[in-house]
Amino acid sequence: MIKFLAAASFLLSMVGHAKDMIKVNAIGSSPKGQFVAFEEFGLMSGSKTSFSHIRVKNVWKNEYVDGPIKVTGDKDGLNIVRAKAKQMAQKRLEEFNISS
């Protein structure tokens, strides 16, 4: 869990330098802490596009298990975009036994 918090802190420190309006949300981790899932979401700068990217990382190997799940939509539909991304990621989260 400590590795998960360290990774989340690192990601949050990078968010301040991005031009897009991005937030990072920790989704959960596997029971032993090997796998963690997080969501990056927000609005792309200069456009009316909202997005949600969900990633799973193997913190023991310091690598992502696969490419991110990406969903985009219009500015007013951020909650819909986030819900769709979480729905699409559900099978992957179950595969790595990740719970919130």
Q: What is the DSSP string of 8-20?
A: HHHHHHHHTT-SS
> Do the domain assignments include residue 22?
yes
Q: Domain range holding 45?
A: 2-95
Q: Quote the pLDDT of residue 74.
A: 84
> Do the domain assignments include residue 13?
yes
Q: Quote the pLDDT of residue 6.
A: 54
pLDDT (tens, 9 = 90+) of the chain, 100 residues, equals: 555 555 555 555 555 444 567 899 999 999 999 999 999 999 987 778 999 999 999 999 999 999 999 999 987 789 999 999 999 999 999 999 998 7
> Do the domain assignments include residue 66?
yes
Predicted structure pTM score = 0.76
Give a three-class secondary structure readout of 78-100.
Answer: HHHHHHHHHHHHHHHHHHCCCEC
Total domain count, the chain? 1
> Do the domain assignments include residue 100?
no
The closest alpha carbon to 73, from 65, 84, 58, belongs to 84
- How far is Cα 81 from Cα 98, in angstroms, rounded to an integer? 21
